[in-house]
Structure 1
Amino acid sequence: MTASAGNKQHKRSSQTRDTLIATAELLYASRGIDSVSLNEILAASGHKNRSAMQYHFGNREGLLQAIIDRHSQQVYALRAAFMDSVDTTACSGPALAARVFVQPIADYMDAETAGIHYVKILSQMTVQNTALIYGLEKAPITLTMDPRHRRIAADALSHLGKTEANRRTFLSVGMVFHSLADIYRLKDIANKPDELSDRRRMVEQVVCALQAYYAAPAWQ
């Protein structure tokens, strides 16, 4: 095979992979992860090669991991830029942790339609996959956390014992992804109340709620 032919084959393979991921994102976000089969994704993508899905992803978990990886790096970049710019003398502790968690995700959802799909999918996965939230090595799907973000979150929960902090972490992840997914679902609903129409203010409510949750004293 010549170098030119090899490059063309690699390009076609990359395009096939991207098409499968984009199709899966749309179907998973609109219908639910458990309601869509790999064969349906393959058919909707327009590809007829049944081995393409297994070749590129192996199984459903591999496909979901590819979706997460596709978007996570962009969210991490937004979060890193936010952490670089924030004035930690004016914003720290639970207030900083809540803002660092929520704002980059909301910004990404505003910038990319596929970002909305990404968050809708993650909101489903947090219910089903405890290991995803805790970043366990044996988890079939992993969602890594920036070390600086991890330190900021740990500082916000430093008034709690380890067990209570882990509970807050687990519940906060689900709360944020579900809340943001619901906020962006509202745009498709006609005749919604005015107070639910301003996404920016709704996102601020999520930040405030998370800040209060981080700061709350330990349960007795």
Structure 2
Amino acid sequence: MVDECFEHEPSETLDGKTRLILAGERLFAKGGIHGASMREIAAQAGQGNHAAVQYHFGSREGLVRAIFDYRMEQMEEARGAMLRDAEVAGRLKDARTLLEIVLLPQLDLQDADGNHSYASFLSQYLLQSRSPEFGDFSGSEPPNLTRALRLLRDRVDYLPPYVAQRRLISISLMFLNILVRHHGAEEEIFGETFAEALEDTMEQIVSVMSMPLRL
């Protein structure tokens, strides 16, 4: 598991553009990618200019890309460290290791209220995604994530591309689901701790991603 935690974002220390990104993430997480107006996002971010989203990002799609860019950049350092550790340990072909590099840095992405709004936002995005390209995250291509996804694709090179992409979306939703349900809580929920739910989910994820195609 990733040891380094990202700080919750105190809104008073953030610039207007970043407040718009985080407001968009929270509102998209609650109501879907098309569930909030640009005016609502600007108001949530404390912007008096109702056209602030269009000014900074051009469109709803531009804001979605900015959310990805913002969060992906936060996870890059952790993923880089995990890749280096995996390389030293000779585990760059191990499915569990690669899936941890892709997924686990999201554990530390929390909003100002301590919730995993990015997990909810990403769930909404993936449920609507129709991209056939493996690892497509709205054009964001941070180097460490890109490398981890390339290694994962090589690990399951026996799968057709569309199957590999479908499975990647499925396992991502499985992982995000426990973040949304548990909020990283240590107390038991439905008879299990978050750590227990995470371990069981990761075992399922490895099996789903790696199993041969049986048709």
Structure 1 and Structure 2 fold alike (TM over 0.5) = yes
TM-score (norm 1): 0.75
Shift of 1:131: 2.9
Partners of 1:143 and 1:130 in 2: how far apart? 16
Partners of 2:30 and 2:188 in 1: how far apart? 21
* 8 Å contact from structure 2 (residues 101, 148) kept in 1: yes
Partners of 2:89 and 2:213 in 1: how far apart? 25
Aligned to 1:43: 43
Amino acid at match of 1:157: V
Partners of 1:173 and 1:72 in 2: how far apart? 17
Q: How does 1:65-80 map to 2 (within 5 A)?
A: 65-80=65-80
Shift of 1:119: 2.0
* Structure whose residues are more often helix by fraction: 1
Shift of 1:57: 0.7
Structure 1, unaligned runs of 5 or more: 1-13
Aligned to 1:152: 151
Identical-pair percentage: 23
Q: How does 1:202-213 map to 2 (within 5 A)?
A: 202-213=197-208
Aligned to 1:143: 140
Structure 1 residues 51-79: Cα deviation after superposition (integer angstroms, max 9, x where no partner): 32211011100111111111101212211
Secondary structure, aligned partner of 2:15: helix
Moved over 4 A (4+): 188-191
Secondary structure, aligned partner of 1:33: coil
Aligned to 2:211: 216
RMSD: 2.9
Secondary structure, aligned partner of 1:20: helix
Partners of 1:175 and 1:128 in 2: how far apart? 15
Amino acid at match of 1:82: M
Shift of 1:36: 1.0
Secondary structure, aligned partner of 1:159: coil
* 8 Å contact from structure 2 (residues 21, 63) kept in 1: yes
Instruction: Assess, with a 3 A threshold, how the Cα gap between structure 1 residues 152 and 105 changes in structure 2: closer, same or farther.
Output: same
Shift of 1:135: 6.0
Structure 2, unaligned runs of 5 or more: 1-13
Partners of 1:36 and 1:55 in 2: how far apart? 17
Q: How many aligned positions are there?
A: 195
